């Protein structure tokens, strides 16, 4: 294995892994903040119980997101130093700003939230989780703006003497049209993920006969909140994804063509729900097609022309010189469909869950009960496939049209070093995954916590002997 391949695999594994935790962190922080707001507003203890219950799951997940995130920032320099030199003038700024504006906010106010139950007033404590949630969303914007430069570089020029990209318009990079649409799409994905988790865990408790009667009301509310969040998020994903598809057709036609495995230009173009092709993916054997749909997805009109892979390849050879500009087509084709399919599946189950508890009913369907444990996984798989599509669909470029992935890798790092780090991360991440899932299941099964008796003895605070409301 070459340094390039090993570095790519490591980046793929560590990034996909990191992004299992990120959407839950972003989505759950807002949902937990919502539960806590409902408690502060209504005083109904069921909301406080839900805040604490889902808050625990949120924190178990958050820890993993934080620690795997540091790897991401270091990895650009460690494994992609040539890339870092090339785009540092542009790419470093959003990363630094993300840390300064978002990570400080997130970590500091989350610390206050976790440990501050008895130290802050109700309202300030509530504000802490909202500020932390805003921090998570803010961080998403900056990192997506950085990524969008790799998809569609704007606001730059290439310095002829150094051969490096330089920033000419910061505002343009921050309002890159790819970033503006990827941000809502990603955020809706986060809410889909968190909504599905909240719904599935609560539904599981409703199915269990052991769940105490007084907790059922709380779990019913959680199923509703989770399912409605999932449905709104899915609607948002469709709308934002649709716009994204049209922007992608414009900015990266090769990626759109790869998503459909469309070799020859078509007008109008059909969208295939699935295709059985030859093993190398170059010829189709059977395909189930919806006429005109691809034209609509790509151009917004039913009979728009969609460029095929071969034509784009010819075009790029003219523009960028000889070379193979095709990404991995079967991967693009299937990850694109998987992304949509898994997301839609979560939304369908959300609809079913809402139906199953309508007008005070208890859920009875055995099939739904069987599906419940898998529901939280669907959006996670969908998110991962979406990013795998976005990133592999850009290949062979690391920065579209400017720098090839092969030219971005660190020249001074040896294959031994990369294989060592790749193995270390893979093993460590596997162990941590088992531990994390074990803890999530334990705390998800445990059900709603008992609330501590209300504090009536206000003098006990003064002598310093009162136990902390929360401690590690």
Chain residues 364-423 in contact with other proteins, contact rule CB under 8 A? 410-413, 417, 420-421
CA 126 – CA 40 distance, rounded (Å): 8
Sheet strands (E) in 61-110: none
Nearer to other proteins by C-beta: 97 or 375?
97
Please state the closest distance from residue 71 (CB atom) to other proteins, in A. Answer: 5
Please state the closest distance from residue 144 (CB atom) to other proteins, in A. Answer: 15
Question: DSSP letters of 166-224?
Answer: EES-HHHHHT-HHHHHHHHHHHHHHHHHHHHHHHHHHHHHHH-TTS-HHHHHHHHHHHH
Using CB under 8 A as the binding rule, the residues of this chain from 130 to 149 that contact other proteins are none
Sole window of 46-54, 108-116, 293-301, 365-373 interacting with other proteins (rule: CB under 8 A): 108-116
Sole window of 74-82, 231-239, 316-324, 366-374 interacting with other proteins (rule: CB under 8 A): 74-82
CA 394 – CA 412 distance, rounded (Å): 25
Please state the closest distance from residue 179 (CB atom) to other proteins, in A. Answer: 16
Please state the closest distance from residue 59 (CB atom) to other proteins, in A. Answer: 6
For 275, the 3-state DSSP assignment is strand
Q: What does the per-residue mask of binding to other proteins show for 167-186, with x meaning CB under 8 A? A: xx-x----------------
Residue 453 within binding range of other proteins, rule CB under 8 A:
no
Cβ–Cβ < 8 Å for 17, 72 = no
Residue 57 within binding range of other proteins, rule CB under 8 A:
no
Residue 85 within binding range of other proteins, rule CB under 8 A:
yes
* Element counts in the chain: helices (H) and strands (E): 15, 6
If we measure between CA atoms, which residue out of 148, 226, 234 comes closest to residue 183? 148
Residue 28 within binding range of other proteins, rule CB under 8 A:
no
Please state the closest distance from residue 90 (CB atom) to other proteins, in A. Answer: 7
Residue 74 within binding range of other proteins, rule CB under 8 A:
yes
Q: Could you give phi then psi for residue 284, rounded to 5 degrees?
A: -95, 140
The token pair that represents 156 in the structure block: 């730059």
> By rule CB under 8 A, what count of residues binds other proteins?
76
CA 142 – CA 139 distance, rounded (Å): 5
Residue 96 within binding range of other proteins, rule CB under 8 A:
yes
State which of residues 92, 268, 338, 341 lies at the interface with other proteins (CB under 8 A): 92
Residue 21 within binding range of other proteins, rule CB under 8 A:
no
What interhelical angle do 377-392 and 329-356 show, nearest 10? 160
Please state the closest distance from residue 127 (CB atom) to other proteins, in A. Answer: 12
Using CB under 8 A as the binding rule, the residues of this chain from 420 to 449 that contact other proteins are 420-421, 424, 428, 432, 435, 439, 442-443
Nearer to other proteins by C-beta: 104 or 355?
104
If we measure between CA atoms, which residue out of 451, 301, 326 comes closest to residue 397? 326
Residue 472: how many CB atoms within 10 A of its CB?
5
CA atoms within 13 A on the CB side of 165: 25
Q: Tell me whether the omega of the peptide bond preceding residue 268 falls within 30 degrees of 0, making it cis.
A: yes
Query: Running DSSP on this structure, what letter comes out for residue 300?
Result: S
Q: What does the per-residue mask of binding to other proteins show for 278-317, with x meaning CB under 8 A? A: ----------------------------------------
């Amino acid at each position: 294995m070459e340094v390039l391949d090993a570095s790519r695999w490591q980046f793929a594994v560590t990034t996909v892994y990191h992004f299992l935790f990120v959407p839950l962190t972003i989505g759950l922080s807002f949902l937990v903040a919502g539960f806590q707001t409902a408690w502060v507003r209504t005083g109904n203890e069921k909301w406080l119980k839900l805040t604490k219950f889902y808050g625990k799951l949120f924190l178990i997940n958050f820890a993993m997101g934080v620690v795997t995130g540091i790897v991401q920032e270091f990895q650009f320099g460690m494994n992609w130093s040539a890339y870092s030199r090339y785009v540092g003038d542009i790419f470093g700024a959003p990363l630094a700003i993300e840390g300064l504006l978002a990570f400080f906010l997130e970590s500091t106010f989350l610390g206050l939230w976790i440990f501050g139950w008895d130290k802050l007033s109700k309202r300030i404590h509530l504000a802490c989780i909202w500020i932390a949630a805003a921090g998570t969303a803010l961080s998403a914007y900056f990192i997506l703006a950085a990524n969008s430069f790799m998809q569609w570089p704007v606001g730059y020029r290439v310095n002829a003497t150094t051969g490096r990209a330089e920033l000419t318009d910061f505002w343009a990079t921050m309002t890159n049209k790819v970033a503006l649409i990827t941000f809502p799409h990603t955020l809706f994905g986060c809410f889909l993920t968190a909504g599905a988790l909240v719904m599935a865990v609560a539904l599981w408790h409703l199915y269990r006969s052991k769940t105490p009667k007084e907790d059922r009301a709380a779990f019913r509310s959680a199923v509703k909140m989770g399912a409605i969040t999932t449905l709104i998020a899915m609607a948002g994903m469709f709308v934002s994804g649709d716009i994204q598809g049209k922007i992608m057709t414009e900015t990266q036609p090769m990626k759109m063509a790869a998503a459909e495995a469309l070799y020859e230009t078509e007008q109008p173009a059909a969208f295939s729900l699935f295709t059985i092709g030859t093993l190398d993916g170059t010829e189709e054997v059977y395909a189930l097609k919806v006429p005109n749909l691809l034209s609509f997805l790509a151009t917004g009109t039913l009979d728009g022309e969609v460029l095929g892979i071969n034509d784009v390849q010819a075009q790029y050879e003219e523009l960028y010189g000889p070379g193979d500009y095709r990404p991995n087509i079967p991967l693009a084709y299937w990850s694109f469909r998987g992304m949509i399919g898994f997301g839609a599946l979560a939304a369908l189950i959300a609809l079913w869950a809402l139906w199953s508890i309508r007008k005070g009913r208890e859920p009875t369907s055995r099939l739904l009960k069987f599906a419940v444990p898998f529901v939280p996984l669907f959006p996670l798989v969908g998110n991962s496939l979406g990013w795998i599509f976005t990133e592999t669909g850009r290949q062979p470029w690391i920065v579209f049209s400017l720098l090839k992935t092969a030219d971005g890798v660190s020249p001074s790092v040896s294959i031994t070093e990369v294989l060592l780090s790749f193995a270390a991360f893979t093993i460590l991440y596997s162990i941590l995954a088992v531990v994390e899932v074990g803890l999530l299941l334990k705390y998800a099964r445990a059900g709603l916590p008992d609330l501590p008796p209300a504090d009536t003895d206000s003098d006990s605070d003064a002598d310093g002997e009162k136990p902390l409301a929360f401690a590690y």
